[in-house]
Amino acid sequence: MEFGTSEYQERIRKTKESMSQKGIEVLLITDPANMYYLSGYDAWSFYVHQMLVIIDDEDQPIWIGRGQDANGAKITTWLFHENIFPYPDNYVQSSLKHPMDYVAEILGQIGQDKRSIGVEMDNYYFTAKCYERLKKGLPNATFKDASLLVNWIRLVKSTAEIEFMKRASRISELAMRRGIELIGVGVRECDVAAEIFHTQIKGTETYGGDYPAIVPLLPSGERTATPHLTWTDDQYEPGDIVTLELAGCYKRYHSPLARTVSIGKPDDKIQALSDVVVEGLNACLDIVKPGVTCEEMDAIFKKTIAKIGATKESRLGYAIGLNYPPDWGEHTASIREGDKTILQPNMTFHLIAGIWMDQYGFEASESIRVTEKGCDTFVSLPRHLFIKDGFIKSIS
């Protein structure tokens, strides 16, 4: 359990308040990040069905999951052991039974089968079959879409959460520096990725790292025209551009970071793109403060890059913090046109200034915390295009 019981109780209180506003009496949480946020449950068990049940008139949640994971719930959560309900292993990946049949049975036994039930309809861990089996098993219940209900509560971080993100950021910086140091002519992409992974898990001398929700992304050459490619076993060549996007992770809290490297002197067009993107990123950081909206941040960036005729169709950033694979984003506020979310202190964002052209791209990003008067970046690393002469050497 990573936070005090009082912090978990406050998170439950806010969740129930939101449930009440939406007319939800029972909330079924299947997103592992939301399960962790409200209970502390932390295990690589999200590949099977599991959930946390929040009942409006009960003080503690109920954990329901695979039998062999029940002791994990006892070890990592603040829940009473009698609130942990394991299902037998013959429910796991079976064509005859489904874990939601068991969930429906439990809800019936405790008198919650005729109530208004909220489910996280739009997340990676709740399937169409889950919904079908719940409706079949709970014919007298009313179902409501509770997607992102808990995610929005997570938007403003506590002091303890900010500290976890600061620790993650130290790991981010170490991993990024290590990646940039190793990139050079004749070096294999997979060897750079391996060293980044090693640094992410090793962490610092005083604390270790966790597994990040996204693997390192480091396309090179023409592959930099798109952001979400990983590594190959190819060797770097003279003139290659390499984009690196990665995150340090500490106790499931992330601090993503992106930078770009040129092996040798870059083309004028890439240098010009990098200069204006960094200028736009700096301009965006300069206006961040409470009261500013997400779309205002996006507008200042677009105005800056328009100087060279560049455009950005994708969003400029998104809320970050706690998460599990396959994404470190929180799926709530986005820095883009039309998002009128008003910034508040201790909101945290990944501000990713990336432009991807037909044959090349450039990325520089910062994870930021909104403060009382402005913002802080979580890491301290130059944002410019890193130019390597082909030899492997340290960066300043």
Distance CA 196, CA 188 (A): 13
Alpha carbon 208 to its chain centroid, in Å, reads 19
Residue appearing with tokens 């954990």: 63
User: How is the chain split into domains, by residue range?
Assistant: 5-153, 159-388
Q: What is the reported pLDDT for 389?
A: 82
- Alpha carbons within 13 angstroms on the beta-carbon side of residue 389 total 4
Whether the CA torsion 329, 334, 335, 336 is positive or negative: it is positive
Q: What is the reported pLDDT for 61?
A: 98
Type of residue at 290? P
pLDDT, tens digit (0-9, with 9 covering 90-100), for 197-217: 999 999 999 999 999 999 999
- Average pLDDT score over residue span 224-233: 96
Q: Tell whether the model's pLDDT for residue 54 goes beyond 50.
A: yes
CATH 3.40.50.300 given to domain 159-388: no
Residue appearing with tokens 């068990």: 45
Give the pLDDT band (50/70/90) at residue 116. very high
pLDDT, tens digit (0-9, with 9 covering 90-100), for 261-279: 999 999 999 999 999 999 9
- Contact call for residues 312 and 328 (beta carbons, < 8 A): no
Q: What is the reported pLDDT for 396?
A: 47
Long-range Cβ contact pairs of 373-379 (< 8 A, separation 24 or more) = 373/289, 373/290, 374/288, 374/289, 375/285, 375/288, 375/289, 377/285, 378/165, 378/166, 378/168, 378/169, 378/172, 378/255, 379/169, 379/170, 379/172, 379/173, 379/176, 379/255, 379/257
Q: What is the reported pLDDT for 390?
A: 59
Q: Record the tokens describing residue 224, joined without a space.
A: 């930099």
Q: What is the reported pLDDT for 394?
A: 46
Distance CA 350, CA 108 (A): 42
pLDDT, tens digit (0-9, with 9 covering 90-100), for 174-194: 999 999 999 999 999 999 999
Percent of the chain with pLDDT over 90: 96
Measure the N-to-C terminal CA separation of the chain; round to a whole number of Å: 38
Report the residue count for the chain: 396
CB atoms inside a 10 Å sphere around CB 371: 15
Sheet holding 386-388, edge to edge: 241-250, 253-263, 386-388
The CA distances from residue 190 to 225, 231, 284, 375, in Å, are 19, 6, 34, 35
The CA distances from residue 232 to 7, 189, 192, 225, 380, in Å, are 43, 6, 10, 16, 29
Q: Is the peptide bond before 326 cis (omega within 30 degrees of 0)?
A: yes
Taking all residues of the chain, what is their mean pLDDT, rounded to a whole number? 96
Q: What is the reported pLDDT for 55?
A: 98
- Alpha carbons within 13 angstroms on the beta-carbon side of residue 174 total 21
CATH 1.50.10.20 given to domain 5-153: no
Q: Can you tell me whether residue 184 is helix, strand or coil?
A: coil
